[in-house]
Amino acid sequence: MSIEPAADLNTAWSARDLAAIWHPCTQMRDHAGSVPMIPIARGDGAWLIDQNGKRYLDAISSWWTNLFGHANPRIAAAIKDQLDRLEHVIFAGFSHEPAIRLAEELLRIAPPGLARVFYADNGSSAVEVALKMSFHYWRNLGRSGKTRFVALTGSYHGETLGALSVTDVPLYRATYAPLLNQPIFVDSPDCYMREPGESWREHSLRKLADMRAALETHSEEICAVIVEPLVQCAGGMRMYHPAYLTGLRRLCDEFGVHLIVDEIAVGFGRTGTLFACEQACSDQQRFTPDFLCLSKGLTGGFLPLSAVLTTASIYEAFYAEYTSRKAFLHSHSYTGNPLACRAALETLAIFRDEPVLERTRALAAHLATRLVAVADHAHVAEVRQTGMIAAIELVRDKSTRAPFSAAERRGLRVYLHGLERGVLLRPLGDVVYFMPPYVITTDEIDLMVDVAIAGIERAVA
Ligand code: PMP
């Protein structure tokens, strides 16, 4: 009996891919050189399996979307069931059970005081909705002088022009700056920047002074402040203390501007609570954003869907005679897609049925113990963690924190090492981070960290 040599399906599929597709967030020329295109054939829990059968541990939840594993059987079954009933229907004038049930469930679990759900179909679109709704609310109240937004330095809110306007990651923003509205950027409470000896809490509270100054000067022209709560993800997993959010809520109330909380990346348990902004609540004070943007993990990572939750008073400012032109006429064709809503309903059912947050807290504690030693590394300026998100900041010089030259692409070397060893790490510049799906085991966390450390050793050599 002769044994056929295993076909190199990766090479064949990758050649077809590179002949036809233009990939996101990619200099395509990299793929003509040392960076392979990996064609994935299937997923299995925390693992991705390529066309040749090689397995990769998905340490970044496929762009932070996946919560309960690839090909999760519960979510897959819910979508299959929905497929035979209704794939899609126009969402103006028509509705359907999955969207209604999902809205009810989101309002039940969201911070108190949110009363309405507006659906869109990806994170950037949710941000566009929140920005436009805030502006339009003030206009409906006769406050048409309110036309600007406040965002934090280092923030990321998406790639469409409105969302990119309130983004402060030069790599994504600088080229398109001539097309963008200019928000007021206020210094981030990012605790990497804290003074020696200063606690996260002290630093974050101190940074509220910058926000107060901006609002004192500009509140008459400001619609809303938009923030990523607790972790500025695409900006390099920079983190801050929840006390900042508590103070920010008070400032927004004092100066009469909305607060848009973008939980697109950090929602659904990533930070240790279901929503990150819950950590800004205390017995004395509840925390309610004016707009809460959700996407990514909303469907467990299965299908694109986003939702903007808002308050009854904002909703009521749009509720009027048709001829008053107060209605919010924003729409996307796939608004409230039934398959995506079923995936989201099943995702939320898993949160109800299983002790997800307890489990992630235990996993996060294990990850923390594995990262302690990394902080001592000669090229590591900081190891930081909030819940299931952890990051390692690589620098050229530990004492001055001088970064490596971006052209050296040290993070890319970590990425390539990870691929070789079967772990999908995708550093943000020189920030190596972990945001794995919640089905990861402690052994898999050990593997993920070991491979990252070995990759860092190679990258800084
Ligand atoms: N906001 C935040 C905080 C994000 O991290 C992202 C995506 N990384 C977005 C918005 C945009 O979401 P999408 O990629 O679905 O447009």
Q: Which domains does the chain have, with CATH numbers?
A: 6-71+356-460 (3.90.1150.10), 76-353 (3.40.640.10)
CA-to-CA distance for 115 and 452, rounded, in angstroms? 43
Give the residue whose CA is nearest to atom 10 of ligand 1. 157
Q: Is the pLDDT of residue 114 over 90?
A: yes
Atom of ligand 1 nearest to the CA of 266: 3
Query: What is the CB < 6 Å shell around ligand 1?
Result: 122-124, 127, 156-158, 228, 233-234, 262, 264-265, 295
Residue 83 banded pLDDT, cuts 50, 70, 90: very high
Distance of alpha carbon 224 from the chain centroid: 20
* pTM of the model as a whole: 0.98
For the stretch 167-211, pLDDT in tens is 999 999 999 999 999 999 999 999 999 999 999 999 999 999 999
| Mean pLDDT to the nearest integer, 394-409 | 97
| Mean pLDDT to the nearest integer, 227-231 | 98
First to last CA, the chain: 48
Q: Is the pLDDT of residue 3 over 70?
A: no
Predicted local confidence at residue 2, as pLDDT: 54
Ligand 1 probe mutation, 62, 127, 152, 296, most atoms within 8 A of CB: 296
| Mean pLDDT to the nearest integer, 107-130 | 98
- Structure token pair of residue 355: 């002790």
CA-to-CA distance for 189 and 227, rounded, in angstroms? 11
Atom of ligand 1 nearest to the CA of 232: 3
Give the residue whose CA is nearest to atom 5 of ligand 1. 265
Q: How far is the CA of 20 from the centre of ligand 1 (A)?
A: 26
Amino acid in position 153: T
DSSP conformation class of 407: G
Residue 35 banded pLDDT, cuts 50, 70, 90: very high
For the stretch 63-76, pLDDT in tens is 999 999 999 999 99
- Structure token pair of residue 273: 């609570």
CA-to-CA distance for 228 and 276, rounded, in angstroms? 9
Q: How far is the CA of 1 from the centre of ligand 1 (A)?
A: 53
CA-to-CA distance for 118 and 332, rounded, in angstroms? 11
Q: How far is the CA of 357 from the centre of ligand 1 (A)?
A: 23
Atom of ligand 1 nearest to the CA of 63: 8
Give the residue whose CA is nearest to atom 2 of ligand 1. 157
Q: Minimal CA–CA distance to 200: which of 154, 155, 245, 267? A: 245
Q: How far is the CA of 139 from the centre of ligand 1 (A)?
A: 27
Ligand 1 probe mutation, 152, 156, 227, most atoms within 8 A of CB: 156
DSSP conformation class of 3: P
Give the residue whose CA is nearest to atom 15 of ligand 1. 123
- Mean residue pLDDT of the chain comes to 97
Residue 1 banded pLDDT, cuts 50, 70, 90: low
